Structure 1
Amino acid sequence: MNNDLLNILSNSNKDIDNQKLMDYLSGKLSDQEKHEVEMWMVDNDFENEALEGLQQMGGNKKLEGYVDQLNKELHHYIKDKKTRREKRQLNTSFWVYVTIAFILIIIILAYVVITRIPHHQ
């Protein structure tokens, strides 16, 4: 489960280890490490708000449930987005083929009309 939360948090910050943030939330850090995280949070308002929100949720089981739900929704969103993109590509390629066919028909008709016109000498 903890790995799922780290997946969500991947790339969320570059200055502090995500595992350290998780350990901070679960109370597993030494006093010195807690102080280090708290000093980092002073300089990072957005992350500070996020961590405070996670702390207010309380209970590790509740947090795990939220993380599982977030991961499911994220995977569902990504799958839907990929499906929409693939449908768009198929639709686009269909119209490309129709356009090419239309242009070829016009060229063939133009050739036939030009070759049928009597030439004056």
Structure 2
Amino acid sequence: MSDDLKNILNNSNKDIDNQKLMDYLSKQLSKQDSHDLEKMMADDEFMNDAVEGLEQFSNVKKLPLSVEQLNRELQKQIAKKKNRKEKRKIKDQPWVYFTIILLLILTIICYLIIKKRMENKVPAVKTVSSLIIN
């Protein structure tokens, strides 16, 4: 995942410039720019919800600090998930594959030996029983 996708309110937002959004929240935009931004908010529910949430933020000046903290927490969570995912993977260990193949070969050899002995014992039992009957 690229670093741009990990950052909340990154500068590559296609719909609205973050500085413009911050200016709107601090009421430093011109009336025309504010009107244009409000039109965009009316068209996009997600943007509208985001701006409403940011408006409820008590101190707009602390917002960049909060955004930075959110980014750090997000990166920690992503790193934690990545580490868990790596732990779940079977590491490429040639000894594991070698052991599995060796056990399979030994199992097949044991099966063949037992089968061969069973075939050899059956006629011997018949000959002993035929001797008793005679």
TM-score, normalized by length of structure 2? 0.61
Any unmatched runs of 5+ in structure 2? 1-6, 118-134
Q: 1:61 to 1:23 in 2, by over 3 A?
A: closer
The residue type equivalent to 1:38 in the other structure is E
Distance 1:57 1:109, change over 3 A: closer
Q: What is the distance in 1 between the residues matched to 2:45 and 2:111?
A: 74
Alignment of 1:19-58 (within 5 A): 19-58=19-58
Unmatched tracts of structure 1, length 5 or more:
1-6
> 1:79 aligns to what?
79
Q: Report if the CA contact (8 A) 2:25-2:55 is conserved.
A: yes
Distance in 2 between residues matched to 1:56 and 1:19, nearest whole Å = 18
Is 46-55 or 104-113 further displaced after alignment? 104-113
Aligned-pair CA distance for 1:85: 1.3
When residues 17 and 61 of structure 1 are mapped into structure 2, their CA distance, relative to the original with a 3 A threshold, is closer
Tell me the secondary structure at the aligned position of residue 29 of structure 1: coil
Tell me how far 1:41 sits from its aligned partner: 0.5
- 1:14-52 deviations in Å (ceiling 9; x for gaps): 333333223322333222111110110011122212212
Provide the aligned length of Structure 1 versus Structure 2: 112
Equivalent-residue separation in structure 2 for 1:18 and 1:109 (angstroms): 66
Letter in 2 for 1:105: L
After superposition, the Cα gap between the structure-2 partners of 1:24 and 1:99, relative to the gap in structure 1 and judged at 3 Å, is: same
Aligned-residue identity in percent: 49
Query: For structure 1, which segment, 35-44 or 14-23, has the greater mean C-alpha deviation from structure 2 after superposition?
Result: 14-23
Per-residue deviation, 1:9: 2.0
Which stretch of structure 1 is more off in the superposition, 104-113 or 66-75? Answer: 104-113
Is 1:15 aligned to residue 35 of structure 2? no
Measured on the aligned residues, the alpha-carbon RMSD in Å equals 3.6
The structure with the largest helix share of the pair is 1
Partners of 1:33 and 1:100 lie apart in 2 by 68
